[in-house]
Amino acid sequence: MQQLIECVPNFSEGNDLNIIKQITDQIESVEGVRLLNVDPGKATNRTVVTFVGHPEAVIEAAYRAIKKAGELIDMSKHKGEHPRMGATDVCPLIPIADISMEKTAKYAQQLAKRVGEELKLPVYLYEAAQPDKERSNLSVIRAGEYEGFFKKIKEPQWKPDFGPTEFDAKRGATVIGARDFLVAYNVNLNTTSTRRANAIAFDVREAGRKVKVKIKDERGEEQEVEKIQPGSLKCVKAIGWYIEEYGIAQISINLTNINVTPMHIAFDEVCKSAASRGMRVTGSELVGLIPLKAMTDAGKYFLGKQKRSTGVSEKELIKIAVKSLGLDELTPFKPEEKIIEYMLQNKNDNKLVSMSLTGFADETASESPAPGGGSVSAYVAALGISLGTMVANLSSHKKGWDDRWEEFSNWAEKGQQYKNELLRLVDEDTKAFNRIMQAMALPKGTDEEKAMRKQAIQEATKYAIEIPFKVMQAAYASMEVIKAMVETGNPNSVTDAGVGALCARTSVIGAFMNVRINASGYDDKNFVNDILSKGKEIENKAIALESEIIKTVNEKIGS
């Protein structure tokens, strides 16, 4: 897997789209970086940019963007609702794939050093990149904001980690660090009162609020002292503000660890606090990007509260999440632009399964050898488990079976997992075939070229054996759901599950044919013998299980 880090710089400009574009052009000028999202806010006068790539490319792109922002943004004229201290206010790096937080922090330090030394800009490290944990919190570093930093930077304890100990009136200062994935999330209220919004923010944020309490001293006399009363949610930062653009107050939330406090829990907690204070939550707003799992988890959470099956499609889970959280109240919510996995998706990865039914049939029937039997076998199994999953969902919602909704919901979720894996393998099988064709097309003019070509063909052939074998495994495994639905599911749909069993068995037999024919061209006979033996065992089990399932179906329909 390629090492990937994400960078989410916040620039102190949210109105001038020309300035924003000049900054993002710098990011896109670096090869190996993909710009995922640009999210300007007028009221905050701040733009959150998200891009991803391999570490060296991300560092270069971030440096160029910080340089350009310093040239174009004049902080002495900046006004906005969001706390800020510089043209590039904050620039976090986030580990995404095959890279540790420790290594990501090293890259953040490398970037900070370069910005400080080459751009002569005061730079502070934060979160994982800051060795001194007393100054690792972003809000503590930024306290006093731009206006207060001319004095603050002269204090010994606030000497920058890199760059001059002089506050730049035009560019300000910047904070660079490494952190876990952070979700910036705003909850909308039916009030215009910043004070009341802040009260809710203090209720829920981990830092809570200062309260005065009475205690007795050694002499037994009562004294009033201040103490911190923590909020109800861990790993949550929040403030209240008024957004003129929308004419409402919001709770601005940073979810610093969505594994501890996910978005849907934060939303519900704000709803509870607002209601206790005579206010209502009208919706919410996602700033920047969010992982797919956070959205599907939210969908499952709200379906679970309704005692509805959570074993629905990914698309349906996202739809439920959007509607339940009111993410489309202020602007349309476009999953393809807001979910990080969708932004990184290569359309060629699911070319076949994105086709219409007619398109897939036409492509299969064309003179092209792919998609062939392997891809069709995977798709047949996907249809089979889809039928089993349908029966699970119907059973979960069946009148009079309310006490069993969770049992069938779990079966439906399992079915969705098999379905998704089999759909992935539809395109993967065709890619495996194409790998062989590409290897066959390699030059063979010299002995060295012949040797390289032979090795490439062997590697591609092995992959072309492994993919249909995975189809066999997934198709056979999916029969556990189908069998359970024939035995315990909605009796009115027993024949649908029965057809699912026929599809699964067909898939196993068809995929095994592909394993066998591809294995004939592979030189490692120990590998071949082992996989053929395993494949035969799966085929026999699938045939026997299908026969058992169909027998049960026939008994239930009385024939």
Q: Is 524 a catalytic residue?
A: no
Q: How far is CA 337 from the centre of its chain?
A: 12
Residue 145 DSSP symbol: H
Residues in the chain: 559
Identified catalytic residue from 82, 89, 203, 297: 82
C-alpha distance across the termini of the chain, in Å: 53
Q: Return the structure tokens found at 19.
A: 């300035």
C-beta pairs of 523-531 under 8 Å, 24+ apart in sequence: 523/458, 524/458, 524/462, 527/462, 528/465, 531/465, 531/466, 531/469
Q: How far apart are CA 129 and CA 225, in angstroms?
A: 36
d(CA 334, CA 351): 21
* Rounded distance between C-alpha atoms, residue 181 and residue 184, angstroms: 10
Radius of gyration (C-alpha) of the chain in whole angstroms: 29
Handedness of CA 203, 207, 211, 217 (dihedral sign): positive
Catalytic member of 39, 168, 180, 429: 429
Q: What single string gives the DSSP state of each residue in 279-335?
A: --EEEEEEES-B-HHHHHHHHHHHHHHTT----S-HHHHHHHHHHHHTTTSSS---H
Asked whether the beta carbons of 475 and 384 are under 8 A apart, the reply is yes
Q: What amino acid is encoded at 152 in this protein? A: K
Active site residue 82: yes
Name the residue among 148, 14, 155 with its Cα closest to residue 81: 14
The residues assigned a catalytic role are 82, 429
